[in-house]
């Protein structure tokens, strides 16, 4: 099998069109919701999600806190479903993110938060799902059928939708304009040539995915995809935390996939790369910036930069074909990760 024959890659290639449609179709609803949130600002924002959707929610947290200055936290569903404890969420905004909209725990948190006075928003790929029906406001992901177990286009659509909501809520014109160019930028990211990164990871069993800020949020997703599709044990770490203990893992040949887009954390990430150069690990660096790529043992170039809040989406888009190719090179089928199903229902 070739990577081009996998459902994972075909669906990842659909992401630019999916994102374009989501931004277009949801804009009117996003504008109304953003106007309401400006008139009635919530005291805080909560998210609830699982898996890739929870990684999307973490990206949303960074957006809400850096662009709006409003506290945002993830709700552990077990607080509601196992400990049977309600939270004081009156007038808060609760954002539930789910590809299927079927997980019972997300449904229970959304229903209870709505009863307790939160404004509930669901980002779902299925408008007829139980979660969509439970929430007051729904923003569809418009990804269509997603057959590969590993989510790709629905994840990128969730990131873009969260960015669109924050852009309109914050009345951030620069981010709005960058979102209009995002689908084209995603198309260009698909053409990124990361083939050189296959060899360092072909026989490796463990590694780290490192980023800061928005890039740390997507590092979680890259680490998950490496685990589920490539059986490669990857852990996502903030670049600020790596030298506080986990650096002890680094030994000759130990792979570190470092995400270094053009953003405020970049100077610190460059210093981190300099520090890691002498510790024996193998640095794979995903970046549009020559100074970051120049510190890599294996550079993974991005064809362009777009906006600090959106460049991590370009990294993800470039990564998905790479992950499909790596899985095949390791003798695995990325469409059928072992022990996994498309919909996971937790309580």
Q: Would you list the domain boundaries of the chain? A: 3-189, 193-329
Partners of 119 in the β-ladder: 93
Higher pLDDT, 89 or 347: 89
- Rounded to the nearest integer, the mean pLDDT of the chain is 93
What pLDDT was estimated at residue 336? 79
Is the pLDDT at 347 greater than 70, yes or no?
A: no
Instruction: Please tell me the predicted confidence (pLDDT) of residue 277.
Output: 87
Query: What average pLDDT does range 141-159 have in this prediction?
Result: 91
Percent with pLDDT over 90 in the chain: 84
Phi-psi region of 231 (alpha: psi -120 to 50; beta: other; left: phi over 0): left
Tell me what pLDDT residue 225 has: 95
pLDDT score of 146: 83
**Topology of domain 193-329, per CATH?**
Rossmann fold (3.40.50)
Contact partners, residue 300, CB within 8 Å, separation at least 6: 192, 194, 196, 197, 257, 284, 285, 286, 287, 293, 318, 322
Residue 342 reports pLDDT greater than 50 = no
C-alpha gyration radius of the chain: 19
Q: Would you say how long the chain is, in residues?
A: 347
Q: Which CA distances in Å does 21 have to 53, 189, 288?
A: 19, 18, 26
pLDDT for the residue 4: 63
Is the per-residue pLDDT at 340 higher than 70? no
Q: Which residue has the higher pLDDT, 342 or 295?
A: 295
pLDDT in tens, 63-86: 999 999 999 999 999 999 999 999
> Above pLDDT 70, what percent of the chain?
96
Give the DSSP H/E element, type plus range, for residue 315: helix 311-329
Q: How large is the average pLDDT for residues 11-37?
A: 98
Asked if pLDDT for residue 35 goes beyond 80, the answer is yes
- Is the predicted pLDDT of residue 107 greater than 90, yes or no? yes
The mean pLDDT of 218-223, rounded to a whole number, is: 96
Average pLDDT in the 142-155 region?
A: 89
Residue 87, pLDDT > 60, answer: yes
Q: Which class is 3-189 in CATH?
A: alpha beta
pLDDT at residue 346, rounded to an integer:
56
Q: What is the pTM of this model?
A: 0.95
* Spatial CB neighbours of 115, under 8 Å, sequence gap ≥ 6: none
Q: With b meaning 16 or more CB within 10 Å and e meaning fewer, what string describes 302-317?
A: beebbbbbbbbbbbbb
- H/E stretch holding 17 reads helix 15-39
State pLDDT tens for residues 40-56. Answer: 999 999 999 999 999 99
Q: Do domains 3-189 and 193-329 have the same CATH topology?
A: yes
Compute the 3-state secondary structure of the chain and give helix, strand, coil in percent, each to the nearest 5: 50, 15, 35
């Amino acid at each position: 099998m070739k990577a081009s024959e996998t459902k994972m890659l075909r669906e990842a290639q659909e992401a630019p069109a999916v994102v374009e449609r989501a931004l277009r179709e949801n804009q009117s609803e996003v504008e109304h919701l953003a106007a309401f949130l400006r008139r009635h600002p919530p005291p805080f924002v909560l998210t609830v999600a699982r898996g890739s959707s929870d990684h999307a929610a973490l990206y949303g947290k960074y957006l809400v806190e850096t662009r709006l200055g409003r506290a945002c936290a993830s709700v552990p569903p077990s607080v509601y479903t196992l400990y049977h404890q309600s939270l004081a969420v009156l007038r808060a905004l609760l954002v539930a993110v789910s590809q299927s909209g079927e997980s019972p725990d997300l449904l229970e948190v959304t229903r209870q938060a709505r009863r307790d006075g939160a404004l509930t928003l669901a980002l779902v790929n299925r408008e007829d799902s139980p979660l969509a029906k439970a929430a007051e406001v729904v923003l569809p992901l418009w990804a269509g059928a997603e057959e590969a177990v590993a989510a790709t286009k629905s994840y990128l659509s969730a990131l873009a939708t969260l960015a669109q909501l924050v852009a309109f809520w914050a009345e951030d014109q620069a981010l709005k304009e960058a979102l209009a160019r995002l689908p084209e930028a995603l198309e260009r990211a698909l053409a990124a040539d990361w083939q050189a990164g296959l060899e360092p990871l072909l026989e490796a069993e463990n590694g780290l995915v490192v980023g800061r800020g928005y890039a740390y949020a997507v590092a979680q997703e890259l680490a998950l995809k490496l685990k589920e599709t490539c059986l490669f044990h990857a852990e996502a770490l903030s670049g600020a935390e790596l030298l506080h203990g986990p650096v002890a893992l680094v030994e000759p040949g130990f792979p570190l996939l470092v995400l270094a887009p053009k953003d405020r954390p970049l100077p610190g990430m460059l210093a981190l790369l300099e520090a890691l150069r002498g510790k024996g690990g193998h640095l794979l660096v995903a970046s549009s910036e020559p100074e970051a790529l120049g510190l890599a043992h294996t550079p993974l170039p991005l064809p362009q930069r777009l906006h600090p809040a959106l460049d991590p989406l370009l990294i993800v888009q470039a990564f998905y074909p790479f992950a499909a190719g790596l899985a095949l090179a390791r003798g695995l089928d990325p469409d059928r990760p072992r022990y996994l199903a498309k919909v996971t229902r937790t309580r």
